Structure 1
Amino acid sequence: MDMNRIDEVVTVGTTEVWEVHNSSGQVHNFHVHDVQFQVLDTDDPSLSGRKDTVYIAPNQTRRLLMRFTDFTDPSMPYMFHCHLLRHEDQGLMGQFVVVAPGKTETPSAPNHSGHG
């Protein structure tokens, strides 16, 4: 985790599929701020419907379908991270911003006083 790095820039109004792979030997509960998502490619009825956190077993890949509909601010990042406190404390997280069409993130250091 680098508080001054934006890992992803997402354009508002877009639908994206994020492929999240757990290459570690530990379980992770992957969480995304700002949006809910649908877990693709699963027969597990408990994974139907909209989610904001999903369990990812070691060496498992999950494809997540999410739509970014609002809250654009190129200087205000959202987080994605493992929801296990021990993993968060170890820096297992990243940041993304949602921007208007044709825009990019603000080149200055992110302002972390807003959403989360």
Structure 2
Amino acid sequence: MIAYDTNTANHDNWQFQNTAFLAWLNIQEFTVPFYQMVNTNTDDDYNFLPAVNGGPPTAAGFSVQGIAGYAYTTQICGSVPLLSAVNAAASDHWWTTNPNDHADVLASGTGWVDGGVAFYVLPLDSA
């Protein structure tokens, strides 16, 4: 995972956090693409599943950067939920497969709210 720190003066501070999950570069059985989107006004990036009609998703203020990978829409084949948190004040999103880390972020009192399950991925220990 790479996070963008919007709190720096020049807004040019990408930080490698760690690998959070396993996904595929190419379509596999039962997988769907997830897209990277960016808001050029806030430099916020976000990963989405495709729209219901199978095309790229849409979100106000965001443009599609392309397919980031392929994942499951349901919990199958040993997959785990990729949990998301959103901090609207910081224009930031955060993902983890660790429920305890997710709960800690939400309980931190720093503006993070539950973003739900983004999609289902394979855990790192499945490599």
The two structures have a TM-score, normalised by structure 2, of: 0.27
Normalising by structure 1, we get a TM-score of: 0.28
